[in-house]
Structures are given as C-alpha cells and as structure tokens.
C-alpha cells in the first residue's frame, strides 16, 4: 500500500512527533542564527579593517601633500602603503613593500577611486599570502596613495567560528532531542497509567477509579474530571438499580395478593363468593396498572433528560378547571387565565397527582387556586407533613408511615413525578403548612 509521508507521520507516537518537531524547530533556528552571526561578524571585522586602512592612507596623503614623506613610510599596524606619482612611478613605500609594481595598476586605481570604497585584492601575485583590503586616495600633484591590509586572519577566525558552530549546533540539537524525549516520556507516563486504569475498569469492573498522578498538571485535572464522571455514572447506575429493586418490590405485594386470592378461591370453590374475589383481584390489578403507569411516566421523564415532551402553549386555567370538575370534592377558589409552555398531558398529571393526594388525606375540604402570576396551589386540611419530611417525600418510592397504612396509597411515586415534571417545565414546587393540613405550591413560568 502506498504510504504518504503525512500518513507515516500521523502513525508515529506523540512522543516521537513532539521530539521531532522540537528538534527541527531548534535546528532551523540555530542554522539561521549561525549564518546571521557569521555574516554580521564578517561585515563588522572587514569594516573595522577598512576604517583603519583608510585612516593610514589619510595620514600618508597629508604627508605627501606637505612633502614630508619619509622613506620608508612608517605605519604602526602593518598596513602596506605605496605612494605613486603622476607618471605611475612608485616614490615611497612602507618597509618591505614592493617598490616597482603598484598593488593596483592605473585603471584599477581609477575604478577604486570612482567607487570610493575599499576593495578586495588577491595578495599572492604580490608575494603576500591571502586576500587584502585596499584603499586608494588621491593626493596633490597627481599622486595616489595605495593602502592595503591582509585579512587572512579574519578569514581564519571566521572559519574557526564556522567550524565550532558546525560541530556545536548538531550536538546541541541532539542534546535537546534527548532531553525532550525524556521529558515527554515522563509527561506521558501518567496518561499511559490512565489508559491502563481505564482498561482495567472495562475488563474487571472491579477498580472503579482511575489513578490520579501526584503532579498538579493537566493530566491530574483530566484524571480528577474523569473520576468525577465515573462517580456520577456509578451513582446513576446505583439509582437505576435501586429503582429496579424498588419497583420489583412494589410489584411483588399486589401480585402475591392476587395469587393468594385466586389460590384460596380455587382451593375452596364451595361456598366461594366469586364476585368478592374478582373485586379483590381487580383492586390489586388497578394498583399494578397505576404503578406501571407511574414507572412509565418517570422513565419518559428520565429519557427526555429534563425537558417536556412537547413545548406548546397550554391554557393552564382550562386544565385546572376540567380537573376540578372531575373531582367533586375539590373547590376551585381562584382560576385566573394563564398560558404556560409545555405538555398539557404532563401538566394535567401533575394536578391529578396532587388532588389525588389531597383527596386521600383531607378531612373535609380541598381547595385549588390558580393565579395569573403562575402559582398553582392545592390545599387540604388533613394531617399535613412534618417539616423535616417535606423535601424527602419528593423522592421516588418515598411514602410516609401515615400514608403506608392507607390501603389506597400508591407506591410513593406521585410527588416525584410532580417535581420532575414541574422542573422540566422550568418551574418549582414545594410544600407548606396549611395549619391544619398541607398546601402544595407549584410555580410555572408564564409564556
Ligand atoms: N396532602 C397530603 N397530606 C399528607 N401527606 C401527604 C399528602 N400528599 C402526600 N403525602 C405524603 O407523601 C407521601 C408521598 O406522596 P406521593 O409521592 O404522592 O406517593 P403516594 O401517593 O404514592 O403515596 C405519601 O405517602 C404521603 O405520606
Ligand atoms: Mg400520590
């Protein structure tokens, strides 16, 4: 299979890729800075040489103009000077310099003068090893001053510097690559530990937490966040398991009751009142179907994760009125027009659950009120719920002891469905003391 370099690169591990990128960037940076360094150094050294050569030439020119030239000309830094007269003859030189052949012939002198700059000259034809920098100045009476300085030393130093960089740079890159490789390996180790921990969780389902590295870095926060997530998942799973076990528990007693009634009836058919049996069985069956309905309602709420099934404008006052009509005992003391956004069926279930509870617990009267600001209250004058239980009763399968005694009591899901539905609609619900009795206060945001 054809393998593009990009595909190959993507297949490499993070450690290799990070190290390679770091080394490549460093190599580029070092190469650029080395070449800049050498160029600038070369320029600066040559400039210095040019400057001092020109100064020497200047001094000699002044002497030539004043006719005070000595022979040989003395310079103090090894500059070679030749003074040439108008006819091209060399008149004065520094010690050891050529007296017969000018370093630059007439046309070359003209050119350098025109350009006004120092120039390179090969010293070998003049028995000087290496290159020279040459400056030419014009003096009076057609004389020219030629001053030259050998720059072989500069070139040697630059060459040495270049060789040092050539050896040092790769060494530095290798050093950095090794250091990066080690550091990145260290950094990635906790990630491998995380991966192993996760694999262990999947394979054994025993250890339920990932190893958290000691360093307080990004991997540390990743591990903590993942552990938080695992804790939440575990909690949700436990809740789910508790729900299943509670639900099975609730299913058991009506089923056992049905079975007992049928067994008794079949075991002693003589003198059996079948009608009574059927009524008993029907009652248990109704409890079962109510339980199934409540469980289904909760499952739907869970499934939707906190949003109502529908988001349509609902005339809550109409819902309230129709339910109040259905329950003869419930007195509608206020019913102002109110439109909320949500699911009419879900909202009517809220009200039914609340009125059902009130009917079950009240001694004489039930009052339902809906005001235009979105507040719906259901009040009864029964035993009420003690302060410390008013939050707890909203939990699933929570029945208070007083409620357990009553045979028509449900499985303790009614208020849980109320709260979760109201929350999904963006509202709140809480219980208050109606002295005597209980007031349930539901608030829903107005559309
Ligand atoms: N209006 C009320 N007055 C007194 N206690 C109540 C009232 N409504 C609910 N409760 C208590 O709260 C518990 C939970 O109510 P609910 O969630 O509707 O479950 P269920 O109706 O299935 O018992 C009930 O068992 C009952 O003890
Ligand atoms: Mg109830």
pLDDT tens-digit readout, 122-161 = 988 888 888 999 999 999 888 999 999 999 888 899 999 9
CATH of the domain at 407: 3.30.565.10
Q: Are residues 144 and 20 in the same domain?
A: yes
CATH of the domain at 105: 3.30.450
Q: Are residues 21 and 82 in the same domain?
A: yes
CB-ligand 1 contact for 123 (6 Å cutoff):
no
Distance from Cα 437 to the centre of ligand 1, integer Å: 12
Answer yes or no: is 201 within a domain: no
Answer yes or no: is 165 within a domain: no
Q: What is the dihedral of CA 170, 173, 178, 179, to 10 degrees?
A: 140
pLDDT band at 3 (very low <50, low <70, confident <90, very high): confident
Q: What is the dihedral of CA 255, 256, 261, 267, to 10 degrees?
A: 120
pLDDT band at 315 (very low <50, low <70, confident <90, very high): very high
CB-ligand 1 contact for 419 (6 Å cutoff):
no
CB-ligand 1 contact for 380 (6 Å cutoff):
yes
Q: Are residues 393 and 436 in the same domain?
A: yes
Q: Are residues 288 and 329 in the same domain?
A: no
Highest mean pLDDT (candidates 68-77, 185-194, 424-433)? 424-433
What is the Cα–Cα distance from 169 to 175, expressed in whole angstroms? 10
Lowest model confidence (mean pLDDT) among 32-41, 252-261, 378-387, 402-411:
402-411
pLDDT at 1: 58
CB-ligand 1 contact for 352 (6 Å cutoff):
no
3-state secondary structure of 103: coil
Q: Are residues 327 and 291 in the same domain?
A: no
CB-ligand 1 contact for 418 (6 Å cutoff):
no
Q: What is the mean pLDDT of residues 326-334?
A: 91
User: Which residue, of 129, 155, 181, is where some domain finishes?
Assistant: 155
CB-ligand 1 contact for 290 (6 Å cutoff):
no
Q: What percent of the chain has pLDDT over 70?
A: 97
Nearest CA to ligand 1 atom 9: 357
Give the predicted TM-score (pTM) of the model: 0.62
What is the Cα–Cα distance from 229 to 233, expressed in whole angstroms? 6
pLDDT at 219: 86
CATH of the domain at 300: 1.10.287.130
Instruction: Write the CA distances from 114 to 132, 147, 166, 256, integer angstroms.
Output: 19, 16, 40, 121
Which tokens is 13 given?
Answer: 């591990």
Q: Are residues 150 and 30 in the same domain?
A: yes
Total domains, the chain: 3
Q: Tell whether the model's pLDDT for residue 238 goes beyond 90.
A: no
CB-ligand 1 contact for 402 (6 Å cutoff):
yes
Burial label, 283 (beta-carbon count in 10 A; 0-12, 13-18, 19+):
middle
pLDDT at 2: 65
The ligand that comes nearest to the alpha carbon of residue 417 is 1
Which tokens is 241 given?
Answer: 């398991």
The ligand that comes nearest to the alpha carbon of residue 398 is 1
pLDDT at 406: 47
Residues with CB under 5 A from ligand 2 (ion): 357, 410, 414
Q: Are residues 435 and 328 in the same domain?
A: yes
Of residues 375, 386, 394, the one with CA closest to residue 441: 375
CB-ligand 1 contact for 188 (6 Å cutoff):
no
Answer yes or no: is 407 within a domain: yes
Nearest CA to ligand 1 atom 3: 384
Instruction: Write the CA distances from 302 to 305, 308, 417, 421, integer angstroms.
Output: 5, 11, 10, 10
Q: Return mean pLDDT, the chain.
A: 90
Segments forming the whole domain that contains residue 264: 220-304
Of residues 432, 309, 436, 297, the one with CA closest to residue 353: 297
Answer yes or no: is 193 within a domain: no
SS (H, E, C) 348-411: HHHHHHHHHHHHHHCCCCEEEEECCCCEEEEEECCCCCCHHHCCHHHCCCCCCHHHHHCCCCCC
Answer yes or no: is 328 within a domain: yes
Q: Which residue is associated with the tokens 């593009």?
A: 4
pLDDT at 401: 66
Distance from Cα 404 to the centre of ligand 1, integer Å: 9
């Amino acid at each position: 299979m054809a393998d593009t370099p990009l595909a190959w690169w993507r297949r490499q591990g993070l450690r290799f890729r990070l190290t390679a990128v770091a080394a490549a960037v460093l190599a580029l940076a070092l190469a650029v800075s080395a070449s800049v360094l050498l160029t600038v150094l070369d320029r600066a050294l040559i400039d210095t040489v040019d400057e001092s050569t020109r100064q020497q030439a200047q001094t000699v020119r002044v002497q030539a103009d004043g006719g005070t030239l000595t022979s040989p000309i003395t310079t103090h830094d090894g500059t070679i000077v030749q003074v040439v007269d108008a006819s091209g003859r060399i008149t004065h030189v520094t010690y050891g310099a050529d007296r017969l052949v000018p370093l630059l012939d007439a046309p070359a002198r003209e050119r350098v003068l025109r350009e006004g700059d120092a120039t390179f000259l090969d010293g070998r034809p003049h028995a000087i090893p290496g290159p020279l920098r040459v400056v030419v100045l014009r003096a009076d009476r057609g004389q020219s001053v030629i001053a030259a300085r050998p720059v072989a030393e500069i070139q040697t130093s630059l060459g040495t510097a270049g060789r040092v960089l050539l050896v040092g740079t790769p060494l530095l890159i290798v050093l950095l690559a090794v250091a990066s490789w080690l550091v990145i390996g260290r950094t990635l180790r906790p990630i491998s530990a995380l991966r192993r921990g996760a694999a262990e969780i999947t394979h054994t389902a025993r250890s339920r937490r990932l190893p958290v590295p000691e360093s307080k870095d990004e991997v540390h926060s990743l591990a903590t966040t993942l552990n938080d997530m695992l804790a939440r998942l575990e909690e949700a799973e436990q809740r789910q398991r508790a729900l299943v076990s509670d639900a099975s528990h609730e299913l058991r007693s009506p089923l056992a009751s049905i079975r007992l009634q049928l067994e008794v009836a079949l075991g002693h058919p003589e003198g059996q009142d079948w009608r009574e049996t059927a009524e008993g069985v029907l009652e248990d069956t109704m409890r079962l179907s109510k339980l199934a309905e409540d469980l289904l309602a909760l499952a739907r709420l869970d499934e939707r994760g906190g949003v109502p099934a529908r988001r349509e404008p609902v005339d809550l006052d109409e819902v309230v009125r129709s339910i109040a009509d259905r329950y003869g005992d419930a007195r509608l003391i206020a019913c102002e027009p109110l439109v909320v956004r949500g699911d009419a069926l879900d909202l009517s279930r809220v009200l039914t659950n609340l009125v059902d509870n009130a009917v079950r617990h009240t001694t004489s009267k039930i009052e339902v009120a809906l005001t235009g600001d979105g507040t719906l209250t259901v009040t009864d004058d029964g035993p009420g719920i003690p302060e410390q239980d008013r939050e707890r009763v909203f939990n699933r399968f929570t029945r208070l002891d007083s409620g357990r005694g009553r045979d028509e009591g449900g499985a303790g899901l009614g208020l849980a469905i109320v709260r979760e539905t109201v929350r999904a609609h963006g509202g709140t619900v809480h219980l208050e003391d109606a002295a005597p009795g209980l007031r349930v206060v539901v608030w829903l945001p107005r559309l």
